[in-house]
Structure 1
Amino acid sequence: MDTRGNASTAADGSGPPARPDRFAAGPVLGVAAAVGALQLALAGRYGFHRDELYFLAAGRHLAWGYVDQPPLTPLLARLSTAAFGDSPTGLRAVAVLLGMATIVLTALAARELGARRAGQALAAAGAAVSALVLAVGHMLSTASFDLFAWTAIGVLLLRLLRTGDRRWWPAVGAATGVALLNKDLVLLPAAAVLPSIAFAGAKSRAVLRGWWLPGGALVALLVAAPNLYWQAAHGWPQLTVASGISGRDGLADRLTFVPMQLVYLSPVLVPVWLAGFRRLRDDERVCWARPLGYAYPLLCALVLLLGGKPYYALPPLLLVLAAGCEPVARRVWAPAPDGTGTRRGRVRLVAVLLVAALVNAVITLPVLPPPRLALVSALYPESAEQVGWPELTAAVAAGWAAVPPEQRGRAVLFATDYGEAGALVRYGSRYGLPSVYSGHMSFHDWGRPPDSATGPVVLVRPKPYPAVERAFTGCRQVAEVDTGRGVANEEQHAPVLLCAGTVAPWSQLWPRLRHFY
């Protein structure tokens, strides 16, 4: 049985696309290794991010799902710290590896699109200096695996479209299933890619025929089934969380969507991905990849409609960037009549990439001294959220010390936010603190205080939270968080309250204390 579609031609419409050039292993792997070395050197300069502290705590409660995410990132957090050490560097080693792999995959995408050695090297360099790749390679987050997975799926789709071989669909399905174990967002590019393939013409539509595509979808479903079952059994809490985030941040995300498309890669790379769009539109040698050019604007429309984060649309744009690398590399490497064009072009290109690398590294990596983070935190607040967690724990310990010793057996330590709760899990033992409880996200599912714990309650909250505070009586401030480095983040000046007790037993309060935002 013939499993191939009718792939478009390389140049004249009469045969299959040309085979890709040899993989430029030397320059591509060299770029990835340089970025990885930089990331590892800086990984421990600040501290854990609030989300990383939550992932570490979730990794102690492994499950097939959590109210706000599938299981993969907490599992990676646990495996990375087990293999590389319980430290920011140990946790982030897996993020560094995923970032390096994303750089290599971007070069492989350029190779599928006909890039030779220089074009592949440019694709790797473009990915390496982009703000998004640097950010997700520094800090372990769901986006770290998302970007890697989406780029891998993009390479597989390019191989499928180039060859017309529908047997690639199960591989695409398997990669999509693994991505679904990390985050459901992979469904968005899938919703954009399939209509784009259908719209691109009869030759592209050929890969949609037969049972290979449904077979790939079945593979994705089987791989993701454990988490889907968990979500169904728990009432699909991720939908509740996602709708809340969209309702809270949707307007701001829509207003910043277009400028952030430029910032997340780099403004200096705009000519490259514009060249990619032109090439996908005009160059018959890569007309088989035209669905990629349609998928990006369609994905942008979906993200805007749903009020998603601007970076949700970035992975396909990284592939469009890869499409533009070959024509840009050809122009840069083509000598001028006086023989000087090649050298000048290379110098200009390297200078532009170095500027992008420097600017994006300062914004996304722990380069600046903590007191100077105000210079970049408006653009990238995540840097400031990596400072001050041991100091927060010390402030909570001061609050705990205000509890009379004879009352500590029935006292409770409660945090309103998973970042604070995660910090107390991570650092609390240094100060002899008891187990911390919280109603935020999955902390709510990991247990409540016993009804015999009638108070006092030491409450830490980064901002007023009346719905939580109404559960406690007689609250007064006994300590305040100070990072000591002048970093204006969410935790700076957070009060630590000592409350006399609760308004009802914990078993009655606990459902009311659950919150997702």
Structure 2
Amino acid sequence: MPIVAVRQVSAVAMREQTIVAGLFAALLVAFAARYGYHRDELYFLAAGRRLDWGYPDQPPLTPLLARTMSAIDPDSLLLLRLPSIAVATFIVVCAGLMAREFGGGRGAQALASASVAAAALVMGVGHLLTTTSFDMAVWSSVCLLVLKLLRDPVGDGVADSAASRSGDVRRQVGADPGWWLVIGLVIGVGLQNKLLLIFPVGALVLALVLIGPRKIFATKFFPMAVGIAALIWLPYLWWQAENGWPQWEMGRAIAGGSSGTSDSPVAFVLLQFGLMGPLLVPLWAFGLWLLWRAVRYRAFAVAYVLMFVVFVTTGGKAYYMGGMYPILLAAASVPVAAWLGRRRMRWAAVGSALAVNALVSAVLSLPVLPISALPDSPVLAVNYDAGETIGWPEFVRRVADARAGLGADVAVLTADSGAAGAIERFGGQYGLPTPHSGHNAYWWWGPPSDAAAVVIAVGIERDHLVRFFRDIEPAGRIDNGFDIDNDEQGRPIFRCRAPRAAWPQLWPQLKHLG
């Protein structure tokens, strides 16, 4: 194919990918400010007010972004979520670029982008400011860059002979080992977002070492990349070392089921068929099979299997596998697009399936339904996070009611970091003090003052409080007002007096990670 023609085809493909990405971003923006803050976002905002090189449960990147967005406009939920919208849109574009690396032309690239844009998990992580959205974007970047290192200048990637005959493939130039430096930079930044990145990186490196092609490591740029990643990651490692490596304790707690999104091994397996949406299962399963068959790309299929085994046996969450699906969908899109060819009816059928998958994904992953319709819908059963974005202003008002009429020397103690973050965000209008909690980073931020005459305990059961206070008085229960069954609904509020010891002695007993 002449160079001019190749450039024209690439430009058309990019235009189609841009349209898909633009529609996807517009959808996320349209629903970004509905419902309210997620408990993790409230915690990120609190962590951002106390910037550090690390936290017991996470690196500093997401809290830094939360602080940056809130500094621009502290009341804009849309602005807070713009970074996640941007990186989720990048994942959509990246899928098309991966299809291009596999040898796919405009049809394959558009199909790959549209498939990822229709995926439930990608919509979900793009809706909230969460470490998962950046983790998926980083891993998509790494996959794309490794594909560049695996380039075969004479092969057609995963494209089959039918794709070649249809003209829906592109010739590639040889690999440039200098891409290792970019990979090192991306992984280093990714490790400042989430420690989970170690697992896919380790799985892919191990797969490449075991089955090849090993020659991609035979360059001076590989150790340089390792050095770049380690240097960027070093401040966080230093913080963890200085504080007793709490991230490991956090990992054990999550594996033990302490998180609201923890999964049993059976649930982990079954949820893999819903992460992207049921209608996309045949496509990504086909992509996994194709990668296994293609010797040059088999390491990605092996990495998927290694990650699956590790996470299902160690109590990982189902969405930990999410970063692998864009490359599986991209691989499958090349021969599928070739099979579709120029047959409009086939494209219409595939497009309809993607549209249905996108519609169902949007209803389940985005705040499409009115809050009043949620209790009678399957959304809360499928999407735990939806319930955690509802009722925080009312939650804080209930805490304020429990504090009303008391003197100035009052402290607030919550069961979890999300509740404490909500009080920090909405408590100013009621004159509530900065809250305390033994959960995650809040424990590091210290106990209440011994001068506090009354402690408002939120969400902590009486049986636990009697270990710390002699006088415990009921002060109501949390009710979000929407009959939404979330982590705070129905929890007790107590007014506590007469602590059994000074707070420096009591505080170590309240520490918990999860």
TM exceeds 0.5? Answer: yes
User: Following the alignment from structure 1 to structure 2, what is the Cα–Cα distance between the partners of residues 249 and 78?
Assistant: 27
Question: Residue 231 of structure 1: CA displacement?
Answer: 0.8
User: Following the alignment from structure 2 to structure 1, what is the Cα–Cα distance between the partners of residues 62 and 509?
Assistant: 28
Structure-1 residue corresponding to 2:395: 392
> Does residue 401 of the first structure (1) align with residue 404 of the second (2)?
yes
Structure-2 residue corresponding to 1:418: 417
SS of residue matched to 2:339:
helix
Q: Which amino acid aligns with 1:426?
A: R
User: Following the alignment from structure 1 to structure 2, what is the Cα–Cα distance between the partners of residues 473 and 397?
Assistant: 23
> Does residue 368 of the first structure (1) align with residue 369 of the second (2)?
yes
Question: Residue 447 of structure 1: CA displacement?
Answer: 2.7
Question: Residue 402 of structure 1: CA displacement?
Answer: 4.6
> Does residue 312 of the first structure (1) align with residue 317 of the second (2)?
no
Question: Residue 133 of structure 1: CA displacement?
Answer: 0.4
Aligned runs of 1:274-423 on 2, under 5 Å?
274-282=285-293, 287-334=295-342, 342-374=343-375, 375=377, 376-403=379-406, 408-423=407-422
> Does residue 200 of the first structure (1) align with residue 208 of the second (2)?
no
Structure-1 residue corresponding to 2:458: 460
Conservation of the 8 A alpha-carbon contact between 1:20 and 1:115: no
Q: Which amino acid aligns with 1:114?
A: G
Q: Which amino acid aligns with 1:377?
A: L
Question: Residue 85 of structure 1: CA displacement?
Answer: 4.8
- Which string of whole-angstrom CA distances, capped at 9 and with x for unpartnered residues, describes residues 312-337 of structure 1? 12212220111000111111234xxx
Structure-2 residue corresponding to 1:231: 240
- Which string of whole-angstrom CA distances, capped at 9 and with x for unpartnered residues, describes residues 80-130 of structure 1? 223455332121111111111111111111111111111111111111111
Structure-2 residue corresponding to 1:7: none
Conservation of the 8 A alpha-carbon contact between 2:410 and 2:454: yes
Aligned runs of 1:64-103 on 2, under 5 Å?
64-83=53-72, 85-103=74-92
Alignment counterpart, residue 478 of structure 2, candidates 481, 486, 490: 481
Q: CA RMSD in A?
A: 2.0
Conservation of the 8 A alpha-carbon contact between 1:276 and 1:321: yes
Structure-1 residue corresponding to 2:505: 508
Structure-2 residue corresponding to 1:10: none
User: Following the alignment from structure 1 to structure 2, what is the Cα–Cα distance between the partners of residues 365 and 350?
Assistant: 21
Structure-2 residue corresponding to 1:3: none
Conservation of the 8 A alpha-carbon contact between 1:166 and 1:212: yes
User: Following the alignment from structure 2 to structure 1, what is the Cα–Cα distance between the partners of residues 67 and 59?
Assistant: 14
Quickly say closer, same or farther: Cα 1:29–1:371, change in 2 above 3 A. same
SS of residue matched to 2:232:
helix
Question: Residue 466 of structure 1: CA displacement?
Answer: 4.1
Question: Residue 137 of structure 1: CA displacement?
Answer: 0.3
Structure-1 residue corresponding to 2:3: none
SS of residue matched to 1:111:
helix
SS of residue matched to 1:62:
coil
Quickly say closer, same or farther: Cα 1:109–1:232, change in 2 above 3 A. same
Q: TM-score, normalised by structure 2?
A: 0.90
Conservation of the 8 A alpha-carbon contact between 1:176 and 1:220: yes
SS of residue matched to 1:26:
helix
User: Following the alignment from structure 1 to structure 2, what is the Cα–Cα distance between the partners of residues 472 and 372?
Assistant: 41
User: Following the alignment from structure 1 to structure 2, what is the Cα–Cα distance between the partners of residues 96 and 515?
Assistant: 32
Alignment counterpart, residue 96 of structure 2, candidates 104, 107, 122: 107
Conservation of the 8 A alpha-carbon contact between 1:468 and 1:513: no
Structure-2 residue corresponding to 1:219: 228
- Which string of whole-angstrom CA distances, capped at 9 and with x for unpartnered residues, describes residues 417-460 of structure 1? 1111001000001112122111111111223222222x211111
Quickly say closer, same or farther: Cα 1:75–1:20, change in 2 above 3 A. farther
User: Following the alignment from structure 2 to structure 1, what is the Cα–Cα distance between the partners of residues 210 and 336?
Assistant: 28
Structure-2 residue corresponding to 1:272: 283
- Percent identity over the alignment? 39
Quickly say closer, same or farther: Cα 1:19–1:236, change in 2 above 3 A. farther
Structure 1 stretch 499-508 or stretch 353-362: which is displaced more?
Answer: 499-508
Conservation of the 8 A alpha-carbon contact between 1:21 and 1:114: no
User: Following the alignment from structure 2 to structure 1, what is the Cα–Cα distance between the partners of residues 134 and 269?
Assistant: 24
Conservation of the 8 A alpha-carbon contact between 2:57 and 2:440: yes
- Which string of whole-angstrom CA distances, capped at 9 and with x for unpartnered residues, describes residues 349-394 of structure 1? 1110111011111111001121322321111111011001000111
Question: Residue 210 of structure 1: CA displacement?
Answer: 3.9
- Which string of whole-angstrom CA distances, capped at 9 and with x for unpartnered residues, describes residues 167-216 of structure 1? 22221111111110001111101111112112334xx1111224332221
Alignment counterpart, residue 496 of structure 2, candidates 495, 499, 506: 499
User: Following the alignment from structure 2 to structure 1, what is the Cα–Cα distance between the partners of residues 197 and 63?
Assistant: 18
Structure-1 residue corresponding to 2:141: 152
Q: Which amino acid aligns with 1:395?
A: R
> Does residue 256 of the first structure (1) align with residue 267 of the second (2)?
yes
Q: TM-score, normalised by structure 1?
A: 0.89
Quickly say closer, same or farther: Cα 1:168–1:465, change in 2 above 3 A. farther
User: Following the alignment from structure 1 to structure 2, what is the Cα–Cα distance between the partners of residues 278 and 246?
Assistant: 29
- Which string of whole-angstrom CA distances, capped at 9 and with x for unpartnered residues, describes residues 133-156 of structure 1? 000000011101101111111111
Q: Which amino acid aligns with 2:324?
A: P
Q: Which amino acid aligns with 1:464?
A: E
Structure-1 residue corresponding to 2:438: 439
Conservation of the 8 A alpha-carbon contact between 2:263 and 2:317: no
Question: Residue 500 of structure 1: CA displacement?
Answer: 2.2
Question: Residue 468 of structure 1: CA displacement?
Answer: 4.8
Conservation of the 8 A alpha-carbon contact between 1:84 and 1:93: no
SS of residue matched to 2:456:
strand
Conservation of the 8 A alpha-carbon contact between 1:54 and 1:422: yes
Alignment counterpart, residue 130 of structure 1, candidates 119, 141, 153: 119
User: Following the alignment from structure 2 to structure 1, what is the Cα–Cα distance between the partners of residues 432 and 291?
Assistant: 59
Question: Residue 305 of structure 1: CA displacement?
Answer: 2.8
User: Following the alignment from structure 1 to structure 2, what is the Cα–Cα distance between the partners of residues 249 and 448?
Assistant: 23
Conservation of the 8 A alpha-carbon contact between 1:164 and 1:206: no
User: Following the alignment from structure 1 to structure 2, what is the Cα–Cα distance between the partners of residues 465 and 127?
Assistant: 47
SS of residue matched to 1:77:
helix
SS of residue matched to 1:22:
helix
**Residue segments in structure 2 that go unaligned for 5+ positions in a row:** 1-5, 152-173
Structure 1 stretch 299-308 or stretch 353-362: which is displaced more?
Answer: 299-308
> Does residue 247 of the first structure (1) align with residue 256 of the second (2)?
yes
Q: Which amino acid aligns with 1:314?
A: G
